[in-house]
């Protein structure tokens, strides 16, 4: 169990690096090229693709043929993502809880809920795509 948690968390850390790079790309390039209103949802789609790509490349690390392993990894990744988003956003960046809840507002172009859904299923989808399951 500890081995699984360490491996799954290690993969998630790669996803965090990809997410940070995606945010930098959004702020430094996409906003300039397409404007903030388009850059935000485009960044959400791009992050969803990056999560799937990281999962596809690294999912063999989990070395399991049990679908529950991949479902568990998805749940873990979502819990870690939410924890990071809210704890880092509030305590390190200083955003209010109300401000941070705006990531769940698709009417403002936020696709965080889509990213979370993709993150939840990415391990299972990647395992199926790689024919591990």
Residue 23 and residue 52 in contact, taking contact as beta carbons nearer than 8 Å: no
For the stretch 73-100, pLDDT in tens is: 999 999 999 999 999 999 999 999 999 9
Does the predicted TM-score (pTM) go above 0.85?
yes
Q: Residue holding tokens 């500890």?
A: 2
Q: Which two tokens stand for residue 92?
A: 């390190």
Per-residue pLDDT band at 62 (split at 50, 70, 90):
very high
Q: Would you give the DSSP letter of residue 95?
A: -
Mean pLDDT value across the chain: 96
How confident is the model at residue 55, as a pLDDT?
98
Q: Which two tokens stand for residue 51?
A: 């999560």
For the stretch 36-55, pLDDT in tens is: 999 999 999 999 999 999 99
Residue 55 and residue 126 in contact, taking contact as beta carbons nearer than 8 Å: yes
How confident is the model at residue 1, as a pLDDT?
84
Share of the chain above pLDDT 70, in %: 100
CA gap 82, 23 in Å, rounded: 16
């Amino acid at each position: 169990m500890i081995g699984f948690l360490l491996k799954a968390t290690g993969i998630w850390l790669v996803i965090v690096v990809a997410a940070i790079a995606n945010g930098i790309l959004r702020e430094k390039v996409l906003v300039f090229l397409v404007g903030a209103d388009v850059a935000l949802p485009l960044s959400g789609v791009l992050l969803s693709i990056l999560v799937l790509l990281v999962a596809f490349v690294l999912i063999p690390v989990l070395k399991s043929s049990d679908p529950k392993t991949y479902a568990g990894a998805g749940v873990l990744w979502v819990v870690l993502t939410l924890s990071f988003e809210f704890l880092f956003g509030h305590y390190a960046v200083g955003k209010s809880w109300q401000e941070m809840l705006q990531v769940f507002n698709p009417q403002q172009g936020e696709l965080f809920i889509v990213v979370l859904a993709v993150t939840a299923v990415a391990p299972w989808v990647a395992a199926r795509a790689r024919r591990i399951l």
